[in-house]
Amino acid sequence: MNRHLDFAAINRAALPLLPAILMRIIPGGKTVAGEYIVRNPTRADRHAGSFRINTRSGRWADFSTGDRGGDVIALLAYLESLPQADAARALADMIGYDIGGRRCA
């Protein structure tokens, strides 16, 4: 079933919407010099600073734990503990991206 998922296209479609996506999936952060800085909701992170998402590329890292990823799908998979394919589908649904000939809502 993953053969119909174009991960790169979904990521490209999500990038222009990334600031809004970030505010939806991990609210409470701030953007500084092209990076969204927010507490990591996957751990007991008391202060924002070590978890950062590049708002131009979608690359992200938690510099306290070493967790990192290269795109928006990987970020959603990390935050929601999803397989990459499920995260890609969820992201496509979130942004209304058409996958496999069907419009996501």
Question: Is 32:38 a contact under the CB 8 Å cutoff?
Answer: no
The pLDDT assigned to 105 comes to 41
The pLDDT assigned to 98 comes to 87
Task: Count CB neighbours of 99 within 10 A.
Answer: 17
The pLDDT assigned to 1 comes to 47
In single-letter form, the type of residue at position 94 comes to M
Residues (pLDDT < 50) of the chain are 1-2, 102-105
Tokens of 86: 């499920």
The pLDDT assigned to 3 comes to 54
In single-letter form, the type of residue at position 5 comes to L
Domains of the chain: 2-95 (3.90.580.10)
Write the pLDDT tens digit of every residue in 18-33. 999 999 999 999 999 9
CA distance 4 to 6: 6
Question: Is 58:14 a contact under the CB 8 Å cutoff?
Answer: yes
